[in-house]
Structures are given as C-alpha cells and as structure tokens.
C-alpha cells in the first residue's frame, strides 16, 4: 500500500523496509536517513519494560525477534548504504540491547563513523536491582565519496556565549544531548516517538532545504513531520497498517515549512575566515603575535581572543596554531641540543 498523499515530495509505503526499499528507492538518491529501528525486546511488553501508560498507543506494533535481529540489521543497513548519496548521512537511534548487532552491521559496510552520540532523557527505566537506564545511543555515519553536509553554524554563531560564558556553538555540538521526551496526554501515538527538538537538531546540522530524508521505520511519522516542517522531502516505510493510515492523515494536515518560523536565527559569524585554508604566512604571524602578547603581560586566553578578532578565526583554530608552534619550537631546541652533543 502506498500513501494517498498527493504531493510527490512525500512518498510513504505500508511495506517492509528492506523489500520496499529495493522496489521504490534508487541508488545514491537520499541525502539523510534518520531512523529508530524496533527494540528487539518484545514490543508488546514495552509498557511493562518502561513502566508507562499506553492506553492511547496504536495497536499493532511490529517487533523483530531477537533471534533474527543480526540478519535484520544487516539487511536494512545494507539498503541504507545503497540509497545514500555519496556524502549522505545516517543517524540510527538505538537502545543498548541490540546495539552490538547494529554496530556489527555497520562494520560490514563502507559507511564512515563520525560520532557516537548519547541522548539523555527524563524519566528513565525504573529498577530496584540495577542502575536506571535513561539514555539512548545515536550513531552518526556518512557515506564516502563526497564531503558530507554539516551546517556548523546553523543554530549558533561562532562568537555566541552561553549563560556560563562558554561557546554556545561548542556546547550545542557536544556528543551528549539533554533533550526531554514529549508527553501528549490523551493523544493517539505510537510506541515510541522521538522528540521534535531532537529531530530538528539532526536535520538542521545534516541537511538543507529541499533535501530528501528517509525513515526506514516511520512509526509515528515524527521524522517525516519534522522534515516537512523544515521544507525537506521525505520517503519512508511502516508495516503497522493502523499506524500508517492514522499518521498519513496527521501528516497531510501539516503545512510545508510550518516549523521554519520557530527556528532560532543565529547572528552572522564574527570569524569571517572560519573554515578557510590558512597560509603559512598567517600562521607565522599568529605565532609571533602571541609571543609578543605574552611578553606584554597578556594571558594566553586574552591573546587568543585578540588574535581571533584580528585574523577572523575561531578560538580553537588559533589555539591549534599556537600549540603547534610551541611543539615545533621545542622540537627544534631538542634537535639543536642533540646536534651540539654529537659535535662535541
């Protein structure tokens, strides 16, 4: 069954993702994959496992038996590699139970690991005899062959500071994310829904407007809905017929780009040369200027801040140049001492 959505930007299939992907999606055609595969722990018992009320959850959750989870993971991840464009990205959200099988499947591809992110959420799984589980893993991989999309300054400019005085851009791009789950009392939903803010963050960093996003396990269509709200195209699969039909209606009721006005708009970057190649001459000038600053009584941090403004480059770029210069000078001194001893 194919969705009845009339817009060709959005294609949804009430089919198995592996065979459906083979039939409907061409090689090297998808910019970004975001997906949350089945738990493999007995989906019909998730309410007991997570101690939560599921009276408004759609029936028919399709689970994958743990006995075939390794082969299942290899099957859909192989398809993911095939359909991704060179330079395309994939994010896989997973608990720890079957994480090893997903990692093993990824290891059999040529996809390149970029990050192993941790999503820390509120209200973890309560237990009395072990530690409380309150996080998910998000595996970030890319397809080789082209530079992948990563919009470093899509959410915060290079010079913006947090309330604590640190870099907001740096904090936002650390690999542990504190994002709470969304609770929608009385609203029909699927077994597990990813938070809108989590999806916005992934989509902002790893895609551009008009890009094609794929979700192998649509579930609540949360990825699809956010993608539509950010003016991306979407394709995906869902086996649960009840969920598929209900979520298609909800999806069709949403306007394209409905989330764009809600996005934070960062100011222009202060460091105009960020990301650009730096000449040997400029590196030498930075190193010499830093020594002059220290001799005039500046702290290292003050010197870096001054050099950042002068050369239009970020803190870490300046720091790397300075530290590299120090290491080279130390090595040169050591070599000179060795040569003197040999000559003696």
Domain ranges of the chain: 10-262, 280-343
304-to-116, 159, 174, 330 alpha-carbon distances in Å: 30, 13, 22, 20
pLDDT for the residue 59: 52
For the chain, 344 residues long, give each residue's pLDDT as a single digit of tens: 566 566 889 999 999 999 999 999 999 999 999 999 998 765 444 444 444 444 444 454 567 899 999 999 999 999 999 999 999 999 999 999 999 999 999 999 999 999 999 999 987 777 889 998 899 999 999 999 999 999 999 999 988 988 888 889 999 999 999 999 876 655 555 557 899 999 999 999 999 999 999 999 999 999 999 999 999 999 999 999 999 999 999 999 999 999 999 999 999 887 778 778 899 999 999 999 999 999 999 999 899 989 988 898 888 899 999 998 876 553 443 444 434 444 44
Q: Tell me, what's the pLDDT at 172?
A: 97
Distances (CA, A) of 37 to 92, 102, 232, 327: 8, 10, 21, 47
Per-residue b or e along 206-233, where b marks 16 or more CB atoms closer than 10 Å to that residue's CB? bbeeebbbbbbbbbbbbbbbbbbbbbbb
Write down the CATH number for the domain with range 10-262.
Answer: 3.40.50.150
Dmax (CA) for the chain in angstroms is 87
Task: Label the pairing between strands 84-94 and 133-142.
Answer: antiparallel
Token reading at 319: 């720091």
Q: Both tokens of residue 148?
A: 């992948």
Q: Give me the pLDDT at residue 51, please.
A: 42
59-67 contact pairs (CB < 8 A, 24+): 59/242, 60/240, 60/241, 60/242, 60/243, 61/190, 61/191, 61/240, 62/38, 62/239, 62/240, 63/38, 63/39, 64/37, 64/38, 64/40, 65/40, 66/40, 66/41, 66/98
């Amino acid at each position: 069954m194919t969705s009845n959505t009339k817009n060709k930007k959005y294609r949804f299939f009430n089919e198995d993702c592996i065979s459906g992907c083979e039939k409907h999606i061409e090689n090297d055609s998808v910019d970004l994959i975001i997906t949350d595969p089945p738990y493999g722990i007995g989906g019909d018992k998730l309410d007991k496992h997570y101690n939560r009320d599921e009276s408004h959850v759609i029936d028919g959750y399709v689970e994958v038996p743990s006995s075939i989870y390794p082969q299942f993971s290899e099957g859909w991840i192989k398809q993911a590699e095939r359909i991704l464009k060179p330079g395309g990205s994939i994010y896989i959200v997973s608990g720890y139970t079957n994480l090893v099988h997903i990692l093993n499947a990824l290891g059999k591809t040529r996809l390149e690991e970029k990050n192993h992110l941790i999503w820390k959420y509120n209200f973890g799984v309560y237990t009395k005899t072990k530690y409380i589980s309150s996080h998910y893993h998000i595996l970030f991989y890319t397809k080789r062959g082209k530079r992948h999309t990563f919009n470093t300054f899509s959410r915060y400019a290079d010079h913006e500071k947090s309330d604590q005085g640190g870099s907001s851009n740096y904090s936002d791009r650390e690999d542990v994310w504190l994002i709470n789950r969304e609770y929608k009392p009385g609203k029909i939903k699927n077994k597990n829904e990813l938070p809108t803010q989590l999806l916005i963050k992934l989509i902002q960093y790893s895609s551009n407007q008009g890009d094609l996003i794929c979700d192998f396990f649509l579930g609540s269509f949360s990825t699809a809905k956010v993608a539509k709200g950010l003016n991306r195209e979407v394709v995906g699969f869902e086996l649960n017929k009840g969920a598929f039909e209900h979520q298609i209606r909800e999806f069709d009721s949403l306007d394209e780009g409905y989330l764009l006005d809600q996005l934070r708009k960062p100011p222009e970057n202060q460091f105009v040369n960020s990301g650009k190649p730096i000449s040997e001459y400029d590196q030498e000038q930075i190193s010499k200027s830093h020594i002059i600053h220290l001799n005039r009584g500046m702290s290292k941090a003050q010197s870096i801040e001054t050099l950042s403004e002068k050369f239009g480059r970020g803190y870490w770029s300046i720091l790397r140049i300075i530290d590299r210069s120090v290491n080279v000078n130390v090595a040169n001194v050591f070599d000179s001492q060795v040569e003197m001893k040999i000559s003696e």
